[in-house]
Amino acid sequence: MTSSFRPIRAGIEKVLASGDYLLSTTANGFYPHNSPAPIVMNDRLGTTTALDPNCDADALGPPWVLLSCPQSPDPYAPYDVELYSLANGTRQTVTPSPGMPYCSSPPYDPQVGCSADAVGAYWIEWVASSYHHLPTSVYFQNIQTGAHRADPTNANTFADLNSPALAHRTCPGVKLMPSPEFETGWGSLTPYGRFALVTGPGNNVFLERCGTSMRRLLANGNTVVSSALASNARAIVWQAVTSRLNGLFLPSLQTFTIPLPSAIVRPAGSPYDIPVSTLALTSGALYVKDGWTGTLWRTASPTALPLNVRRPTLTRSGNTLTCRRGRWINAKRFSYTWRVNGRRGTDTTPRLAVGKAGKRRTARCSVAASNAVGATTASSAQLQLR
């Protein structure tokens, strides 16, 4: 099967995606003025914009890019925080709100780090920390008014930088998880309609669903091949093994896989695979940064994968079970797997011969539909064999 991955930029350090936009940079954060300019691409419009090469791009949150721009050639000297507008290309300097502890009190203290770490449509997130005498604190500054707020995060409340209200309560059944790895003491939460991605201790990532007790582990930070994970309202993608990406469609929860070409995971002349370092999803494409050259690769969005719109069905006639593949969109090839009494069999055809049924014997078939992008799997309902 021909790979749909294409390299688009080499030597990448940082990749961020949100909505239609992809931000990539080769700057190292200490000497941004010695590196190529950060690049912003709009996948929907097909446009590319080079930002100021003297600045480092820290965060992407349409309609803004958060920049750190040095005030002098000394990389350890103070820098200005700026907002770049994706709408009209203008820039504005951001000053921490008066009264924001440790961030807005002059003079500049080299022992205190106060950085703008994230941005959304309405809010900037600031993180204040020190090596010696300051517990880490998180503050939020309103872009329009300049007013600041303390962190509202708790088990049932998360900070939404794209909401004028900032503090949002989770829906019933969805909770944040305590996590010492995060500045707030709580893991992150990203809502997608009736679903939410929740990060917990050890960088484990779970999918939760409103109104249920579902907490589905997607990526195990202790055993997973790569910590890279990308998501939007339509799909979640992560790497479970080095040779492919795994994913889920939302809201259907259909599973899919995307094979990775050897050019991404295996250095030339090496017998070993290397995990990808970054995944990013825009509204129109999936991006992969490989883990050994820092090359950024582009492939089609998971929405170009086969999509099951009517699930497979399983019927029996005498001693023969027949798996009908259901209805699919974007599918080119089909393969079949069988489970009898929960055990996976070796048959890969749409028919399976069975003997006399034992007590509580069950069967289920799964259909994997594939095309040039990857494969999606859908399963039949379980059939009781009598």
pLDDT, tens only, 148-165: 999 999 999 999 999 999
| Mean pLDDT for all residues in the chain | 89
Which of 144, 133, 141 is closest to 115 using CA atoms?
A: 141
Could you tell me which residue, 28 or 194, shows the higher pLDDT?
A: 194
| pLDDT tens digits along 326-346 | 999 999 999 999 999 888 988
> What pLDDT does 313 receive?
96
Class (C level, CATH) for 308-385 = mainly beta
CA distance 3 to 386: 45
Element (H, E) at 264: helix 262-265
How would you classify residue 38: left for phi > 0, otherwise alpha for psi between -120 and 50, otherwise beta? beta
| Cβ atoms within 10 Å, residue 356 | 8
* Distance between CA atoms of residues 336 and 313, nearest Å: 12
Strand order in the sheet with 64-70: 56-61, 64-70, 79-85, 91-94
Among 258, 264, 333, which residue's Cα sits nearest to residue 303? 258
Q: Are 366 and 376 in contact (CB under 8 A)?
A: no
Instruction: Give per-residue pLDDT as tens, 154-210.
Output: 999 999 999 999 999 999 999 999 987 666 688 999 999 999 999 988 888 999 999
* pLDDT for position 34: 61
| Stronger pLDDT, 3 or 196, i.e. the higher one | 196
Which one is predicted more confidently, 138 or 109? Answer: 138
> Under a CB-based contact definition with an 8 Å cutoff, are residues 225 and 241 in contact?
yes
Mean pLDDT on 234-241: 93
